[in-house]
Structure 1
């Protein structure tokens, strides 16, 4: 399950790795669909993460978008611009997720635009890069989409307009206002971290200590009968019997260790593993508990791109 390692950086465009010689001008066949989705997954995550304001929620939307793309592909006909096609599906999945949150829709009102500060100086990619995920949520949906596509992912105005199915003037206007709004926000301090309840902190600390001591039988004893495992970008398992093998695989990874951390207003387990990445934190693991039993494990070992958008702190 844990064989192999994964790079922390991935090519920005499909042409960088030869998946498609001309990514925006050649037809996509069924043999190339899997390659397209694998190559684009980190890029889709960067987009969805900023649309949702969460690296974790962004990964949920990426999974939904890839499922939707696979379902739509047989009836899609000839796809001449596969990268834009897949990004468009991810954009729609992000909008669906935002609608489920009952947030503002894609089209903003003239009154809302009039109330936004309008700066003459154009922000560049450095401003977007400096912005936290939470800051993107202060932009309207159309502003957010345009800033992420143009300033984070590097698409042209024409490409951005095609992906979003809007006009180039609409993209220019949204970029102008979105960039100005981000300039207002980049110097705002983040809110203080909420205090973690002592019982929750002790439970996570005990899990990490047992893991680092390689007492995996004790960790198996914590699993509920209906526990779910999401080894992101690799596999999903359900039920205590099947999920138990998860710890067997970690027993074969002696360089791996856990520490307590905080990310996106929730406690996480920070994983250090030189076999996966040289960074101090290679990836994170999320645990959900009910009545002292683990009911869900979400492990990002095989989704290193998530760390590019995730800010973590040690507890």
Structure 2
């Protein structure tokens, strides 16, 4: 596999990597950050890796290690050694577990240990075999079986627990999002440019990153050519967000989302997921 082959593999694997990292870290947005770190690590490692026998597993293992690094940085959980687990009987209620995993919230996965979480996601969410999962994680098959069993049991306990709805938007956030949406929907992009700070950062996820008011202003020029998109204030997970309705991207009510960060009355960060619609598969949205 040459560098072009690696680029094609990363593009094809990106939605799958995002599903994995999102459930490992508990956030679709941080999950995307980890995917970007993992892809950068893969490109950096590629010239010195030699022949890669299982490119897909290799890439997933890089993403797994990036997720572990992120968990350590956050110090959210004490990580147990992945190999230091005793085999346990395998849970055979796979059909019921598939339904449990499909309905489990991202927060529920965070109650699982790392080996439980990674085993459940790789086997029950992404469909890898026990042997493939053990190879990706660098552990024994019995360790995967034990983690899978305990993770399934724990998820069954958690999935029926009532979720706490996010609080209503603060009035200042509601006003900012509504004003932005109103100007965007009226195609008053000059008014939106006036809201940008001088050092504003744009992350057009999976496409490009720009910094500075002059360069980021081009972002609105491109949206002038998009006529079917409308924005609505709402929630994406626990984040205030702009929900984009755009039939050119998806026929669903919410095609993608945009996140804004503010300092005083100026926008300091825009994160636009227009070109990363795979994020929606792991995202819960609602109108405010």
- 1:287 aligned counterpart, secondary structure: strand
Separation in structure 1 between the aligned mates of residue 48 and residue 98 of structure 2, nearest angstrom: 37
Contact 1:223–1:293 (8 Å) recurs in 2? yes
Residue in structure 2 matched with residue 194 of structure 1 by the alignment: 167
Contact 1:230-1:297 at 8 Å conserved across structures:
yes
RMSD: 1.8
| 1:196 Cα deviation from its structure 2 partner | 1.9
- Matched pairs, number: 283
Question: Normalising to structure 2: TM-score of the pair?
Answer: 0.95
The match for 1:255 is 228
1:183 alignment counterpart: 156
Q: Please list every run of 5 or more consecutive structure 1 residues that lacks an aligned counterpart in the other structure.
A: 1-27
Aligned residues of 1:130 and 1:186 also touching (Cα < 8 A):
yes
Distance 2:82 2:140 in 1: 15
Q: Can you list the C-alpha shifts for 1:264-305, whole angstroms capped at 9, x where unaligned?
A: 211000000111111110000000000110000000000010
Conservation of the 8 A alpha-carbon contact between 1:222 and 1:292: yes
- Mapped contact 1:286–1:299 kept (Cα < 8 A): yes
**Match of residue 140, structure 2, among 161, 167, 173:** 167
Q: Distance in 1 between matches of 2:109 and 2:80?
A: 14
Change (3 A) 1:119 1:169: closer
The gaps in structure 2 that reach 5 residues or longer are none
Is 1:107 aligned to 2:92, yes or no?
A: no
1:98 maps to: 71
Q: Show CA shifts across 1:21-75 (max 9, x none).
A: xxxxxxx332311001000000000000000111111000000000000000011
Deviation at 1:120, TM superposition (A): 7.7
Q: Say which SS state the counterpart of residue 169 (structure 2) adopts.
A: coil
Q: Deviations over 1:103-151 (max 9, x none)?
A: 22142798x99xxxx9785553221111111110010011000000000
**CA–CA distance in 2 between the matches of 1:288 and 1:300?**
15
For the residue of structure 2 that corresponds to 1:187, the secondary structure is: coil
TM-score normalised by the chain length of structure 1: 0.87
Query: After superposition, where does 1:1-315 map in structure 2 within 5 Å?
Result: 28-102=1-75, 103-107=77-81, 121=93, 123-315=96-288
Q: Secondary structure at the match of 1:190?
A: coil
Is the 1:260–1:268 Cα contact (8 Å) retained in structure 2? yes
Q: Give yes or no for contact 2:83–2:139 (8 Å, CA) kept in 1.
A: no
SS in 1 for 2:223: helix
Partner Cα separation in structure 2 for residue 31 and residue 257 of structure 1: 36
Shift of 1:200: 1.4
CA distance in 2, matches of 1:213, 1:31: 42
SS at match of 2:39: helix
Q: Is the 8 A contact 2:83 2:143 kept in 1?
A: no
- SS in structure 2 at match of 1:124: helix
SS at match of 2:68: helix
Q: Distance in 1 between matches of 2:188 and 2:126?
A: 43
